[in-house]
Amino acid sequence: MFKYKGNNLKIKEAVIEANSEDVTMLLIDDICDADQFDMTDATNEHIAISIQKFLIENDIFINVYYPKWKWSKAIGYFSINNPTTININGYKLNRSIASFVGNFYHELTHMVSANDNIYSYDHGSNDPTGKENTAPYAIGDIAYWLIDEEHRTETLEYKTYMPWYKRLLNFIWRV
């Protein structure tokens, strides 16, 4: 189950959506029905079952971080040093709920792969070119489209809450 203790309303909504039993079950079914993923010998069924089991057995914490270089291309990351935390780039919060959910499941796939003693199902380098059918990208895309169907007409505006000193630094950097 995904958990978030921050105050960003869009991330809160994304966590609710990502934890929805309907979304999880549809995602697991869609993973099994997808074409065999690139860059792995694991079957899609093995990956789907591993993801489902990992979600049941673990709490996955969503953390917002602010990289030193604010123009970093990273949307988020998972680190083996903190094996149940997904870090989301605080400078890239102006995204749709579907985008967050897709990112959660992309990073979750990395977590599960890192804990799989038999198979690896990552995407190699961080260059996404030609990696659309690797497990992390494909599963993230499946999750995105499951949510995007529901929120296609959503026009809600959310405020990103940032500590006052970070807002001040952002203002200074713009000048």
Domain at 2-174: CATH code: 3.40.390
Domain spans, the chain: 2-174
Burial class (CB in 10 A: 0-12, 13-18, 19+), 16: middle
pLDDT tens digits along 14-53: 999 999 999 999 999 999 999 999 999 999 999 999 999 9
pTM: 0.83
Which pLDDT value is given to residue 165? 57
Q: Where are the beta strands (DSSP E) in 50-163?
A: 60-65, 76-79, 82-89
H-helix or E-strand containing 2? strand 2-4
Helix axes 135-151, 21-33, angle to 10 degrees: 130
